[in-house]
Amino acid sequence: MMASPGQTVALVIFGILALGFGTAVFRTKSMVRSALALLGSMAAVGGLFFALEAEFLGVLQLMMMATEMTIMAIFMVMFMMDPGGLGQMEMTHQKRASLTAGVVSGLIAIGLSTLSSWAAVVAAAPTPSAQLHDLGIELMSRSMLIFETAGLAILLAMIVATTIALKAEEKR
Amino acid sequence: MSPLVLALLVGAGLFGIGLYGALSQTNLVMIMMGIELMLGGALVNLVTFWRYLHPDVYSGQMFVLIVMTAMAVEMAVGFAVGIARFRARGSVEMEEAVELNG
């Protein structure tokens, strides 16, 4: 069964935006522009989630990525000699091999997507409120261990990140 | 074209672009951007599979939350490595990090 035409149009528009901004990330010499392009791409992915009727995940994606990209832009300005790309510095290597790897892996994924015989598409998704309710039940019942492990992983990452970033004399 | 395949094509494209970026960039932050794009492609695929194949089972959405956690962890540890590297060598250019000894 096919999805509604509106949904297909939304998928196409957000898909083109995600891919367009994704390409722009590596086409500009300005790292701040790269961070903003990545923000655009991730926001378009959030839009895709809305088009796919996963509203909660869409909101989560938009909020998380806006925060992440802001932090990324701040780090760019702190660490880079030329965050604005005014000097037109070349910051790539092994371009041909990388391009080949990217194109080949993309083509393999496209081939698998188009040639696999997927099951029939389900026409209707649960309502947003039903999704939230059922996801909450899932998090607090069957997937609780996974959910708690994810929380522990974030805590560990914070401790590890702080330890790595400390100066040598501060560690003692 | 089925909307399932359409959305999977976007995921495949994002993965390919991300892989190109992660392999071709010399700067740590730009490499991390490539990895973010690859994980973004994975997210699109996961939500697509949930929506069009099993919208009644929430393991798919759970998987998305785990990938988002992986993205946050990758950012935190990546930037910590960046800070350590910047303190040691004054740069986060990975071309110079051939020995990985600080």
Q: Which residue has the higher pLDDT, A167 or B55?
A: B55
> Between chains, do A167 and B11 touch, taking CB under 8 Å as contact?
no
Percent of chain A with pLDDT over 90: 56
- pLDDT at residue A125, as a whole number: 87
Facing A119 at nearest CB: one of B10, B25, B53 = B53
How does residue A170 score in pLDDT terms, banded at 50, 70 and 90?
low
Q: What sign has the CA pseudo-torsion A20, A25, A29, A31?
A: positive
- Tell me the average pLDDT across B50-65: 92
> Does residue A1 register a pLDDT over 50?
no
> Between chains, do A22 and B84 touch, taking CB under 8 Å as contact?
no
- pLDDT at residue A60, as a whole number: 92
Percent of chain A with pLDDT over 70: 90
- Tell me the average pLDDT across B20-41: 92
pLDDT in tens, A5-44: 888 999 999 999 999 999 999 998 888 888 889 999 999 9
- Tell me the average pLDDT across A153-158: 93
- Tell me the average pLDDT across A115-127: 87
Enumerate domains of chain B plus CATH numbers: 3-96 (1.10.287.3510)
- Residues of A whose CB is below 8 A from B69: 150, 153-154
Q: Helix crossing, A5-25 with A31-51: angle to 10°?
A: 160
Q: How far is it, in rounded angstroms, from Cα B73 to Cα A139?
A: 20
- pLDDT at residue B82, as a whole number: 86
Q: How far is it, in rounded angstroms, from Cα B34 to Cα B13?
A: 12
Say if CB A61 and CB A46 are below 8 A apart: yes
| ipTM summary value | 0.90
> Does residue A83 register a pLDDT over 50?
yes
Give, as one character, the DSSP assignment of residue B2.
-
Nearest residue on chain A to B74, alpha-carbon basis: A157
How does residue B100 score in pLDDT terms, banded at 50, 70 and 90?
low
